[in-house]
Structures are given as structure tokens and as C-alpha cells.
Amino acid sequence: MREYNTLSVFDGMSGGQQSLKEANIKVNTYYSSEIKPISIDVTQYNFPDTIQLGNILNWKEWSVDWSSIDLFIGGSPCQGFSIAGKKLNFEDERSKLFFVYLDILNHIKQLNPNVKFLLENVKMPDEIADKIDELLGVQRVFLNSRNFTGMIRKRYYWTNIPILPYEEKDINIEDLIEDIPFDRSLDYLLSKTKYEPSMSGDGIITINPRDNNGKQTWQRGRVYDIKGKCPTICASLHDLNITKDHNTYRKLTQTEEETFQGFPKGYTRIATRLQAGEMLGDGWNVKTIAHIFKGLNT
């Protein structure tokens, strides 16, 4: 079986490496570019042979055999993209990181034209995504992680790896959570919001979608029925409120958040609750990425 020399930028806690493991793709050398200390610590805890390279902005100084890179992956921040005459905003510090990814990819392609690559990012306006299509030379693919781990996570993927067919799955919150009591009263939250269970088009059941003035409930006050789908876990809101009987509730645990993002239980055990939630919210959905990586064997 082929072994891949992999370079991952914006690597976080190495969801890419865990996805390769999940897909049974052999890794020879794994280079990681990451700057957050806790993310690096979690990576090294789970994959001690990872070679850490540091800040992506210093890529020209890295000691890497560029011609040996078989797989180049990453998910750059795209919040700064804007359109002006069908051009991306080159001046925004966040969107600049995409162009660093592009520079590295083009550099590798000069030495290894057959390099496989993957870029992940959020859904964005078509005119921005179309420009990224043009720059990367591939058509974006839309995948929702609800079909892989049951959590709603809508993302675009740009890759030259063939994406295999997959079966749409019907996974609800109750299918993946642990057997832990719902021991907090909902009285306080429901005193501020309207009890009006409703299901979104994505299958998320919110029991209190609006406050008493009819405005959308603030995120931390929303409570989700476990018979519905899991909303997107994000860095700023990961410990979701869940209920079974609409009288009591509890929050998702750290290991449950790992499960909904496709990581093995205990992957973030060396991090605090807050650190783990932020990393998981910012990270890749492992089972979704693993499905993409399975195309490397075709």
C-alpha cells in the first residue's frame, strides 16, 4: 500500500492526520503547520511523530523536501474574502492566508505535478467560491457532515482526489450521546423564551426558538431536542443544551463533542473543557474528511 508524505497547513489538532488514519491511508511523514500551543500539544499527544513546522507565513524557510510531498491539505480562514471586479481582497490579513496556501500548492506542483491536495472551507457566496475554483483549477464539492456523524456542518471542499459515492444517513442526537442524566431544570431558560418546539429544514428541533418578544433566541439559550439533528458545533458555541423530556436538560460533554466531530473519545483529554470545545469547533469533521481520503486508493 502506498505511503503518503503529507503537508498539512492550518493543521489545528491534526484532524487531517486522524482522518487519514480513519481512511486507512498510510502516512510516511506528516508535516504540520500550526501556531496554537494547545493544538500542537494535542497533536503530539496523539501523533508523536508529527513534524511541526510553525507559522505558515515562514514556509519558504521550512526544511522540507518539497518534491517528496504527495498530499497537501488545509482549511484557510476565508472571512476576509470580498469581491471587487471579481477579485478577492488581497489586503485582508485573513484572506491572505488562502493565497499563501495557493503559493505553496503551486510551488509543490512545480516539483511534483501529481500532488494531491484538499482545501476545506465554509459555504460562501458563489462569486467568491467561483474565484477559488478558478485559482485552484478544480470545481468545489459541497458536503454536509450530517451524513457522516449526524452533525450539521455544511462545507465546501476543493480537491483533485476523487470523491466516492456515499450513503445518506439519518442520525439524530440521541443516537450518539452517552447515558448521562438530564439533571438541570429548564425553568430558567424557558422563563426567557417561548416554548414552541419547531423543526428546521435540516432536522434540528429547537424547543425555544424565540424569546418572549418574538426575536430569535440567543444562541446560548437555545435548547435542542435529542430526537432531532445536532446543530453545528463551533468554537464559540460547542457545549449545546440538549433535552429529552422538555423539562430538564444538560450540555454536550467533551467526549460527545469529539464523537459528533468524528474524533475518537479521549482525543482531546489533555485539553481543558474550553480548549477542547474551541479546537473541535474550529477543526475538521474527521469522518467527512476520511471519506474524501478514501478516494486516494482509487
The model's pLDDT over 58-91, given as tens digits with 9 standing for 90+, comes to: 999 999 999 999 999 999 765 555 444 344 554 5
**In this predicted structure, what is the pLDDT of residue 92?**
59
Given a contact cutoff of 8 angstroms between Cβ atoms, the answer to whether 247 and 239 are in contact is no
**In this predicted structure, what is the pLDDT of residue 122?**
86
Given a contact cutoff of 8 angstroms between Cβ atoms, the answer to whether 154 and 200 are in contact is no
Q: Are strands 198-199 and 205-206 parallel, antiparallel or unpaired?
A: antiparallel
Nearest-angstrom CA–CA distance, 119 and 136: 9
Q: Are strands 241-243 and 223-225 parallel, antiparallel or unpaired?
A: parallel
Name all contacts of 36-39 with Cβ < 8 Å and 24+ positions apart: 36/12, 38/271, 38/275, 38/279, 39/11, 39/12, 39/13, 39/279
Fold identical between 3-168+284-297 and 179-252? no
Nearest-angstrom CA–CA distance, 278 and 233: 9
Q: Starting at the edge strand that comes first in sequence, how are the strands of the sheet with 3-9 ordered?
A: 51-52, 26-33, 3-9, 71-74, 116-122, 154-159, 141-144
The model's pLDDT over 165-211, given as tens digits with 9 standing for 90+, comes to: 999 999 999 999 999 999 999 999 999 999 999 999 999 999 999 99
Nearest-angstrom CA–CA distance, 57 and 209: 43
The model's pLDDT over 15-54, given as tens digits with 9 standing for 90+, comes to: 999 999 999 999 999 999 999 999 999 999 999 999 999 9
Q: Are strands 26-33 and 51-52 parallel, antiparallel or unpaired?
A: parallel
Structural domain boundaries of the chain? 3-168+284-297, 179-252
Please state, as a whole number, how many other Cβ atoms lie within 10 Å of the Cβ of residue 125: 11
Pick from 81, 18, 12: which is nearest to 271 by CA? 12
With 0-12 / 13-18 / 19 or more C-beta atoms within 10 angstroms meaning exposed / middle / buried, residue 19 is buried
SS3 148: coil
The model's pLDDT over 123-176, given as tens digits with 9 standing for 90+, comes to: 888 888 898 999 999 999 999 999 999 999 999 999 999 999 999 999 999 999
User: For the domain bounded by 3-168+284-297, which CATH number is listed?
Assistant: 3.40.50.150
Given a contact cutoff of 8 angstroms between Cβ atoms, the answer to whether 144 and 153 are in contact is yes
* Cell 503530539 found at: 44
The model's pLDDT over 87-123, given as tens digits with 9 standing for 90+, comes to: 455 455 666 788 899 999 999 999 999 999 999 998 8
Please give the class, per CATH, of domain 179-252.
alpha beta
DSSP 267: T
Given a contact cutoff of 8 angstroms between Cβ atoms, the answer to whether 181 and 174 are in contact is no
Given a contact cutoff of 8 angstroms between Cβ atoms, the answer to whether 252 and 239 are in contact is yes
DSSP 234: B
